[in-house]
Amino acid sequence: MSETVTKTNLLGLSLPKLQAYFVSMDEKPFRAVQVMKWIHQRGVTDFDAMTDISKSLRDKLKTNAEIRLPNVVQEYLSSDGCYKWIVQVASGSRVETVYIPEAGRATLCISSQAGCTLDCSFCATGKQGFNSNLTTAEIIGQLWWANHRLNGFAEPRAGAGKSNRAVSNIVMMGMGEPLLNFDNVMDALHLMMEDNAYGLSKRRVTVSTAGVVPAIDRMKDYTDASLAISLHAPNDELRNQIVPVNKKYPIRELLRSVKDYMASLPDKRVPVVEYTLIAGVNDHRQHARELAALLKDFPCKINLIPFNPFEQSDYRRPSNSSVNTFREILQQADYTVTVRTTRGDDIGAACGQLVGEVADQTKRSARYRKAAELSAANRLDVHNVV
């Protein structure tokens, strides 16, 4: 009986790991650069097509390795030009990847987990519970797919510089908390910024975290990617309700950790503070004034995100007047403030709406369904009595 060979998936290997892999095969480390360029710059997954390596090495790779991509099972195109792809990962769960084209840039929002353990109250992903961490190949595979689907692996156009990649910016803001899948996310970031892979600027690759402080403290030893923090409240009492991880890592501790990370970077970047505005919850004038005072000694940019409704939530989107007033108070305090334009909401791709299909191990999704059913039944009983 012949033994089944477990093949190494080269898609998710950072350059140091790919070099180590070739050394383990008694090959020269420079082979790693050749193969990496074929995979990530030319979009090639067939070893036979890698014409600058010997046939004997190609045969060896076919026996021992593979380039296995996550399976894209569905595609949606929004009326505003955004794409959403449903990606099936090894656990059987499905995650979502969103492509957002804008003037002068094209952003890919990448998922790092199937579901999420944090259960932030404004986020549809958390209501799905949690199944698994994505592998590095499943994370970077979302970027590979976007470039493949949108012709980003084509030869650069004349006068277009070294690349005409479909994706210019990455935000780790899809499903999951990236820093709870630390090792795989760090390797994926390496590939995104590696000159022999995607070559994206550290200013154009952003990790968004709800505030996992020990992981932020570790980041300086692994990456110099940009950082965004999901704050969403100006005090611990309110943030405990909206972002439950705050009970473990309160605001003061989070801001200290972020300042330390930013101080470790070789340039003068500042973090982005993300603040989802929820009608009647955290969008009052006093919240804006309190936020301005909180961030007084914390250099940052502030991104206001009007809440995007989804089925499992009773939260409401704030009025345009509330959003504008909140922004003006912060601007008067000399903050740089942007308001995120809602994109892709007609296909459920807007911020906070990503759901996917999670084989929930936490039972959380079942609890939310039961609560929703009870709430609907109560509303029906009240209607009948009236």
In a domain? residue 3: no
Three-state SS annotation for 279-296: CCCCCCHHHHHHHHHHCC
Q: What is the mean pLDDT of residues 1-8?
A: 72
What distance in Å separates the CA atoms of residue 111 and residue 30, rounded to the nearest whole number?
A: 31
Tell me, yes or no, whether 40 and 175 share the same domain: no
> Catalytic residue among 27, 96, 138, 274, which?
96
* Per-residue pLDDT at 344: 59
**96 in active site:** yes
Instruction: Specify if 386 maps to a domain.
Output: no
**Do residue 89 and residue 195 come from a single domain?**
yes
What backbone torsions phi and psi does residue 39 show, to the nearest 5 degrees?
-75, -55
Q: Using the predicted structure, report yes or no on whether residue 380 has a pLDDT greater than 70.
A: no
Helix pair angle (15-24, 30-40), 10° resolution: 130
Closest to 255 measured CA to CA, from 287, 204, 291, 289:
291
Q: Let me know whether 59 and 208 are in one domain.
A: no
Is the residue at 382 inside a domain?
no
| pLDDT for residue 129 | 83
State the sign of the Cα–Cα–Cα–Cα dihedral 282, 318, 129, 82.
Answer: negative
Residue 139: pLDDT over 90: yes
Residues 56 and 171 in one domain: no
Residue 333 pLDDT class (50, 70, 90 cuts): very high
* pLDDT value at residue 288: 98
Indicate whether 46 and 187 sit together in one domain.
Answer: no
Q: Does residue 377 belong to any structural domain of this protein? A: no
- The answer to whether residues 239 and 231 touch, using CB atoms and an 8 Å cutoff, is yes
Q: Is residue 201 predicted with pLDDT exceeding 80?
A: yes
Q: Which domain holds residue 280?
A: 71-369
Pairing mode, strands 83-88 and 71-77 = antiparallel
156: CATH: 3.20.20.70
Beta strands in 21-69 (DSSP E): 65-66
Please check the confidence at residue 187 and state whether its pLDDT lies above 70.
yes
| Measured distance CA(361)–CA(99) in Å, rounded | 28
Residues 25 and 122 in one domain: no
Q: What is the pLDDT of residue 353?
A: 47
Q: What is the pLDDT of residues 143-176, one digit of tens each?
A: 999 999 998 886 654 444 444 568 999 999 999 9
CATH at 13: 1.10.150.530
Same domain, 100 and 224: yes
Are residues 364 and 228 part of one domain? Answer: yes
Q: Is 351 a catalytic residue?
A: yes
Could you tell me if 195 and 95 lie in one domain? yes
- In this predicted structure, the answer to whether residue 304 has a pLDDT above a threshold of 90 is yes
Considering the domain architecture, whether residues 310 and 259 belong to the same structural domain is answered as yes
**55 and 168 share one domain:** no
Q: How many independent structural domains does the chain possess?
A: 2
Residues 181 and 34 in one domain: no
| Inside any domain, residue 378 | no
Among residues 40, 66, 92, which one ends one of the domains? 66
Strand, helix or coil at 228? strand
- Helix, strand or coil for residue 196? coil
Q: Look at residue 373 in the predicted model and tell me its pLDDT.
A: 46
> Is 105 contained in some domain?
yes
Model pTM above 0.85 = yes
375 in any annotated domain: no
Residue 82 lies in a domain: yes
- Count CB atoms within 10 A of the CB of residue 294: 17
Looking at residue 309, its amino acid is P
